[in-house]
Structure formats: C-alpha cells, structure tokens
Amino acid sequence: MRTSDNREESTADRDDNSGALSRRGVLKGTAVTVGMAAAGIGVARPAHAAAGSCSVTARMGGTSITLSVVDGALRWHAERDGRTVVETSALGIRLSDGTVLGSDVAVTGSGRETVHRTWSPVYGRNARVVDHYQEQRWNLRDRLSGIRFGVRIRAYRTGVALRYVLLDRGTATVADELTTFVFPDGTTVYSARDENAYELVAPDAIPVTGTAGTDNGPLTDLPLTATLAGGLIACVCESARVNFPRLMLSSVPGQPNTLAAFLMEHTARGTGPVEPTTTVTTPFATPWRAVVVGATHAELVDNAELVLNLAPESVLDDTSWIKPGKVFRCELSTAAGLAGVDFAVARGLQYIEYDAGWYGPEFSTVDATTAIAAIDLPSVISYATSQGIGVFLYVNRLALTDADALFGLYKSWGVEGIKLGFINDGTRSMTDQIIEWAATAAEYELLIDMHDDVRPFGFERTYPNYISLEGVRGNEQFPTATHNVTLPFARNIGGPMDYTICYGQSRDKTTNAHQMAMAAVYYQPLNFLFWYDKPSKYGNPANWPGLPWFNAVPTSWDESRTLAGSIGEYVAVARRNGSTWYLGTMTDETSRTLSLPLSFLGSGTYTATIYSDGTPGTNPYQTPVVVSTRTVTSATTLDVAMAPAGGQAIILRPS
C-alpha cells in the first residue's frame, strides 16, 4: 500500500500546499487557515504601486501564464511553446456591495518561488506524482475601497492555474467571480451539463439550460475541454474548492471566443436553499482555476494530475484501510448477496454492493438503518468478510440527516463503503456538506462514492477515502461510442469517474471489447463491473471470453501512458501494475486500426493476450470477442484493429 504525500523537497522554497489539516479541521471552520497556507498568504515582498501597465510571468517546461495590470485592470493569458492557449482575459471578484476587485488596482507586493518535489498517492494513475511549478504572486490594493487582495499564478509543464486571495482580516461576501477565458479563434468546446451528452460548439454557443428553479443560462459544467486551432487541447478544471460554490462556465453575449466564470447559486437540480452570495472568513483563498494543456490529445490525458497537485495534501494519518477495487452490484435478496460474494471471489473482485431499495423505496424511506425483509444483512456481511470481500451500501441523501450516527452504525456492521445517491452539488453549502461527509466517513474508515451531479475538485487527495464520484452521463444509459471516447479527454481529466462497465449487455451501442477496454482507458479506482447482471449469466465462462480480462485488471496503477488519441474519435491507454501492462483501445462508430509501438515495455519478451473484435455483428454488441496470444518486445509495433464502436483489451505479461 502506498503512503500518502511522501514528499521529497528539491528546492529551498516551501511548497504552497504544505499546511496540514486535522481530520475535522475543515468541519470546524479551519479550512480557511489551510487556504491561507496553500495560497502563500503573507509571503509577498513589498513593491511600488503600479502606474500604467506591468506584468509578471510564471514559466515551466514551455508553458507560461502571465498576470498583468493594463490601465489599472487585472488581466491574464497563457501559452504553450509560444502558441496561445488563453488570450488576454479579465480577472476579478465582485463583492456583494458592488465593489469590483480587479478593475482599478495597485500592486503592493510580489513574490516568486519554484517548487520541485514528488509525492505518492494512496492510489492513482501513477505511483509517484511530480509536482514541479513556478509561482508568481501579486499582493494588490483596490484603489477605490482600499481592500487588500492578491492573485497567485502557477505554471506547470502540464498546464497553468490561478486563484485569488482575500487578504484583509474579517469577513467578505462574494457575489461573483469575474474570471474569463478568451480562447483563440477557431476554438471548439465540448459542452455538457448534468448527465447530458456532449455538444461540440463554439464558446459563444453554449446551449441555454436550466429552469426557473436552477441556475439558468448558456452554462456548462466542468471539466470543460477545448480544442484549439493548431492542434493544442485544453481542459478547464477546478481544484481545492473549500467553503465556496462550484464553478460553471458561461458564454458571453457579443464575445464570440469568451467563457466567463459562473458561481452556482442553486444545487444542480434546484433542491435546497438558493445562495446568491458566499460569505467567507478572511484571509481566504478561492479555489484554483486550472487549465490542463496538451500539445496532443494523448498528452492531455497524461497531464491530468495537475488537478491533484493543486489540491490540499491528505489529512489522514493512516490510509492503510483505503483499498481501491472492483465492485459487483447484487440484487436485493440474501441469496443474491451470498451469490454475489462467491462471484466476487471467483472473478477477482473486491466488493459487492446493495444499491437503491435495500432499506426500502429511496425517496419515501428516510430510515437507512434497517434492511428490507428479503435481505439478512448481517449474514451477508459476515459471509463476505469471511471471504475477504467488502460490502458497500447505497444511501439516498434524504436518509443522511445524521451522517455521524449512520456511518458509525455501518462501521459497527462491518460495512466498508457507502455509495451516496442524488448528491446535487453546486452551492457553497453543498461543497461544505460533501467535505463533511467525506471527513465523517474517514473517521469511521469508510470509503465514499458520491453519485449524480457532483463534480471533481481534487479532494480525493485530501480525503483519499473519497474514492470516486459520478458527475457524468453514465454508461448505464447506454451512450454512443463517440461519448465513450470523449470522456478520457473531458470528464476524466478532472478526477476519478464512476462509469459502470456494461459488458455483455444487449442494450450496448458498442462491442464487448470496447466495454472491456474501459477498464484500462478510464481512471476508475472504484470500478463497478457486470452492471445489470447476475452471477448465473456467467455460469458457463466459455460463452464469455472476456472474463479473464476482468479477473486480472486492477484499478490502481504504478504507471500510465496514453499512446494515441483524438477526442471523440479514438483512444489508446497503457497502464502498468507491477510488471504487467494493461492496454485498452476504443474507437467511435468508425472502424480503424492503430499502430502502437510498445517501446514503453521493459527488456525481455512479453506474452500479449489480446481480446479483440471479431467479425462485426448486425449490432455492435453482437460482435464477438476473439482471444489470441503472441510474443512481443519493446521493439514491437502492434497493429490494433477495431470494429465500428469497437476496441481491444490487451494484457502484456513478462514471459
């Protein structure tokens, strides 16, 4: 088991994310202190007030972000290898009294630092994460009100990030964030809200969505991916969101290439109170606004750990109990639970789960402490424990009136994880609630998987038991292959993604090999498999040649490499666990062959077990899986052929 945040400093400057939290610090209101430490508040050196225009740039590995004052107004822009990622764009915060911080400022202090370190996550895409950046800091004074605030910018090789810091002691009430993202001409964005499909539009053409009871307008959720003229690709994400509402982006009338920050005032589906403003204790650091950048589409996928690097370090002293793994959902009976345990043992899974309905109808039952008569839960949990299988229980948010008592009860039963349903993220209150649930679950050593319209913000680093979340049009809705090969470059950039794999389903719009490849292509530390199925379906393994792949494939990795990709068209990802590599490839509705060099392999020979598409069926799901083996080395180039909506799954074991 990896240790969390095992740091190796290689610079004299102290990292901005070094402030430690107690387990319950966030819940007790001390998150603002962490935000202060994470923002480097009070570290800037004196500077003369700006007159006219001035600028400062952070650079790292060909990526740069520039902060400037132009005629008193704050601006920023970003580049990669001399090519524009974000054109000159506005910065600022509007307070509830109408004060705009950023429209007329003086620079009162500045600072710079370079950090280069590595750390080891509890689970992840890679066993070691490189955190290497240059940061520039400006302390500022609003000329009209005298309010002191600051802006921090960071350049990584993998992208750029910025955040605001409110410096005066006391409180501040934020009404709007005025950050804009002006993209170059010819940009296309992949817009999606809630569980809708992606729409490819110009930045000024985000569809109007929402109702009178929700945030309404030309709004898109994060992560938001943009393809830029010239081949660059960028993904806007947020990280380190604490005591603050969730960020969306909005088209701006009359500004064709511009997206503007929008702080959510409603929860995603309009439940709960409306919060048009957010009052914070100052000094206070806002969440990071991150732009992950790739010179190629494949590189974008490999640069996703930028979001984690911006998040606060783990607050958990002991993470030995946090175990990623594969999950099977059982039907709602004792017999199904026991059979599910046996199936998990036979198929190399780590968990079973009882989903909605195990304690009664989820929208009319608010007592999640008693199982329905059909389920002898103590017997199932006892049997599962004896077989080394953990149990997850689903809980609708309506039953979370006393999470501390409920989680404590589940722990006493021997439960290992909770899947929370209809967690409609959005307002600052919901941000606080999500963090509180994760923290409370951690006290009882319970894993958390949050479902429905929640969005990632890097907190799986801070609370590693917050192991997965949904926030995506799920595979159980049987989307198109095009949707599936968009996700690696969009939603999955922001963080873990609970995307159930529907192998062997007649409702699939893809081949079975395409479904299999998801287990390597997507980053899913908690991976639900065999959705909508029961163990008896697979009673004759000879009918299901893909089963050995699912038996073997892990969910946490020592090394990951994206070998090829184009958003919405195709993707190929290789991930290593120990000495074995797992390679997944997926295509859209177009058949194609990818030539993939295996230069990432070590020395010696490897046995490649290849699960590929056979002769295409009338419908993609009817395309058989064909299994073959061959010997390969690092000098081999594999020609990977895929049927329409197809894929390949390949295991590469040292011979």
Q: What is the mean pLDDT of residues 608-632?
A: 98
In one-letter notation, the amino acid at residue 287 is P
How far is Cα 75 from Cα 181, in angstroms, rounded to an integer?
10
Distances (CA, A) of 442 to 23, 146, 454, 462, 554: 8, 42, 19, 11, 23
How far is Cα 273 from Cα 265, in angstroms, rounded to an integer?
9
pLDDT class of 483 with cuts at 50, 70, 90 = very high
- pLDDT tens for residues 95-131? 999 999 999 999 999 999 999 999 999 999 999 999 9
- pLDDT tens for residues 2-30? 433 333 333 333 333 333 333 233 333 33
Instruction: Flag whether pLDDT at 495 surpasses 60.
Output: yes
Instruction: Flag whether pLDDT at 470 surpasses 70.
Output: yes
Instruction: Flag whether pLDDT at 577 surpasses 80.
Output: yes
Q: What is the DSSP letter of 360?
A: B
pLDDT class of 209 with cuts at 50, 70, 90 = very high
Q: Identify the pLDDT of residue 53.
A: 86
For residues 415 and 393, is the Cβ–Cβ distance under 8 A? Answer: yes
Q: Identify the pLDDT of residue 289.
A: 99
- Residue whose structure tokens are 């402030």: 19
Pairing of strands 129-142, 255-263: unpaired
In one-letter notation, the amino acid at residue 86 is V
Please report which helix (H) or strand (E) contains residue 225, including its range.
strand 224-227
Q: What is the DSSP letter of 28?
A: T
Q: What is the DSSP letter of 33?
A: H
Torsion of CA 344, 347, 350, 351, to 10 degrees: -30
For residues 430 and 391, is the Cβ–Cβ distance under 8 A? Answer: no
Report residue 115 as tokens: 């950090």
- pLDDT tens for residues 266-291? 999 898 899 999 999 999 999 999 99
Q: Identify the pLDDT of residue 40.
A: 46
Q: Identify the pLDDT of residue 44.
A: 52
How far is Cα 210 from Cα 560, in angstroms, rounded to an integer?
38
pTM for the full model?
A: 0.93
- pLDDT tens for residues 303-345? 999 999 999 999 999 999 999 999 999 999 999 999 999 999 9
User: Of 502, 614, 493, which Cα lies nearest the Cα of 225?
Assistant: 493
Phi, psi of 653 (to 5 degrees): -110, 140
Report residue 392 as tokens: 């997850």
In one-letter notation, the amino acid at residue 134 is Q
Q: What is the DSSP string of 308-359?
A: HHHSPPP--S--TT---EEEEEEPSSHHHHHHHHHHHHHTT--EEEE-TTBT
- Residue whose structure tokens are 């409180």: 171
Phi, psi of 360 (to 5 degrees): 120, 180
Q: What is the mean pLDDT of residues 620-647?
A: 98
How far is Cα 60 from Cα 115, in angstroms, rounded to an integer?
11
Pairing of strands 390-396, 417-421: parallel
Comparing 451 with 39, which gets the higher pLDDT? 451
- Residue whose structure tokens are 């099977």: 328
- Residue whose structure tokens are 């539009």: 201
How far is Cα 453 from Cα 465, in angstroms, rounded to an integer?
19
User: Of 175, 289, 306, which Cα lies nearest the Cα of 224?
Assistant: 289
For residues 373 and 330, is the Cβ–Cβ distance under 8 A? Answer: no
Instruction: Flag whether pLDDT at 42 surpasses 70.
Output: no
Q: What is the mean pLDDT of residues 47-59?
A: 74
- pLDDT tens for residues 407-445? 999 999 999 999 999 998 999 999 999 999 999 999 999
How far is Cα 325 from Cα 417, in angstroms, rounded to an integer?
11
Q: Identify the pLDDT of residue 46.
A: 55
User: Of 543, 490, 479, which Cα lies nearest the Cα of 515?
Assistant: 479
User: Of 400, 309, 313, 304, which Cα lies nearest the Cα of 359?
Assistant: 400
pLDDT class of 579 with cuts at 50, 70, 90 = very high
Phi, psi of 142 (to 5 degrees): -70, 120
Q: How much of the chain exceeds pLDDT 70, in percent? A: 92
| 79 alpha carbon, distance to own chain's centre | 24
